Amino acid sequence: MKEKIISFLKKYDEIPRILLKVLAFVLLIYITFSFIIGVTVMSSEDMQPNVKLRDVVVYSRIDTDYAVRTAVVYEVNGNTLVGRVVALPGSHVTIDENGNVTVDSILIQENDIYLPTAQEGYSTDITLGADEYFILADNRQVGVDSRYIGPVHSGDIKGESLIVIRRYGI
């Protein structure tokens, strides 16, 4: 009988170690997705053709020093959006009726944009605050961006896009 008890205890001796490993793995996943990287599904056509509807965007939450032309994930009024940084904090942004975008009096050349920025009757002239970014969608015809929502505060930017995983239309 004593041998059966010892055999039983030896058989289940590994359970606490396995549970500890599982707990450590779950904690690692939680920390990774809460503080290091984020994942969102593209819910609009704002960034087409570069990021398509229903593509998965993986973004970094760590680096908050965004550069011009960087694709970022940001949140406005509870909606998660993806756009491209056009102007940094403190910059002066002008968009004329023809859709020409100038930042600090320099005309921006955007070779990745396939549709014009121009919107009928739209123009803007704004100087960004110390924590504001001017973000435009790649698909300027349908994109919701700083032209409509205004400058994006740095605290509303969730992170810089790292990887786009195509789900459809590869």
Nearest to 46 by CA among 149, 133, 170: 149
Enumerate domains of the chain plus CATH numbers: 2-165 (2.10.109.10)
99: left (phi over 0), alpha (psi -120 to 50) or beta: left
Rounded Cα distance between 41 and 154, Å, is 21
Enter the pTM of the model.
0.83
Which residues are registered as beta bridge partners of 106?
A: 103
CA 22 to chain centre: 30
Rounded Cα distance between 158 and 27, Å, is 21
Mean pLDDT by 10 residues, the chain (170 residues): 69 78 93 92 91 94 92 95 96 91 92 73 90 94 91 97 84
